[in-house]
Amino acid sequence: MKWIQSLDNPLIKEIKKIKTQQEGKIFFEGVNLIKSALDSNHVQIERVFVTEQFIEKNNNLFQLLQSKKFPMIKITEIIAKNISDTVTPQGIFAVANFKMQTIDSLDIKNPTLIVIADRIQDPGNLGTIIRAGEALGADAVLLTSGTCNPYSTKVLRASTGSIFFIPVIKAKIKNIETFILNNKLNLVIADPHAKIFSFEMDFTKPLALIFGNEAQGVNQQLRAMKHASCKIPQKGKTESLNVAMSATVFLYEIFRQRFLKSV
């Protein structure tokens, strides 16, 4: 197994470059993301970096990775802390090939739930929306221009690996509109100023659900399309839930309605 002790090593410099790019290769860390990548058909692990301490504590996973014939590289704890985005790194990292589909190549017959993230800026919010979408039955997550980088380590971590199991696609608004019309989806906008509550909506029909920018909401191009708007009912004095929390509540309500209809 190769052993790296210098931050000036070309492979370590490559990691720092990957962390700033928008697509193609991804860099991620932690046991959960590694395991999710192993279970996904859309991620091709290129190499794995581990510390001596990780090997001692997680020998079973280490042996599994070795059996997969991934190039394994041992690094020092100093390097691990340097390349990690967490306070206490677990000591395992990976570089992988992971390319997003395009909306034209999206092969979903009769989609029933599409989530649209419109200019979501916070990586934690985007990762949570992807996580909730995958967990609660969305067919895909579409990202409009201006949405934060879905390949970033913060999005990957917030998604807890869900991004490896659901199509996440960057798309122009005109292509999103065409997709919605071609698939005969009902368009629903999550809007804290709407007059109708989410509990009053019929979410059992095929639909596309839009969550807008944290500060500005859904942009006018999307609002110009035929749509319905609804909000989450609230009792407390808080002005509104953040977009990630709202997405989770909305998606659970959709799941609940469809589950009750199926039994």
Q: Could you identify the residue written with the tokens 């280490």?
A: 62
Helix (H) or strand (E) holding 59: helix 59-67
- Around Cβ 191, how many Cβ atoms within 10 Å? 21
> Secondary structure of the chain: what % helix, strand, coil (to 5)?
40, 20, 40
Indicate the pLDDT class of residue 22, thresholds 50, 70 and 90: low
Q: Residue 36: what pLDDT?
A: 96
Model pLDDT, residue 107: 84
Mean pLDDT across the stretch 54-73? 93
Question: So what's the pLDDT on residue 236?
Answer: 84
* 243 pLDDT tier (thresholds 50, 70, 90): very high
Lowest mean pLDDT among 102-106, 197-201, 210-214, 245-249: 102-106
- Residue 119 corresponds to which tokens in the numbers above? 């200019």
Note the pLDDT of residue 19: 87
Read off the pLDDT of each residue in 134-139 and give the average, rounded to a whole number. 97
**pLDDT for the residue 238:** 77
The 8-class DSSP code of residue 155 comes to H
Residue 216 has pLDDT above 80, yes or no: yes
Percentage of the chain surpassing pLDDT 90?
86
**Domains in the chain and their CATH numbers?**
2-98 (3.30.1330.30), 113-262 (3.40.1280.10)
pLDDT at 263 over 80: no
Residues in CB range of 153: below 8 A, 6 or more apart: 19, 27, 28, 29, 85
Q: Give CA torsion, residues 24, 29, 31, 36, to 10 deg.
A: -20
Q: Which residue has the higher pLDDT, 215 or 100?
A: 215
* Across 201-228, average pLDDT: 96
Single pTM value for the model: 0.93
Token pair for residue 252? 């659970």
Please state the rounded mean pLDDT for residues 199-209.
Answer: 96
Predicted confidence band at 137 (pLDDT cuts at 50, 70, 90)?
Answer: very high
Say whether pLDDT at 244 is over 70. Answer: yes
Write the single-letter amino acid at 18. I
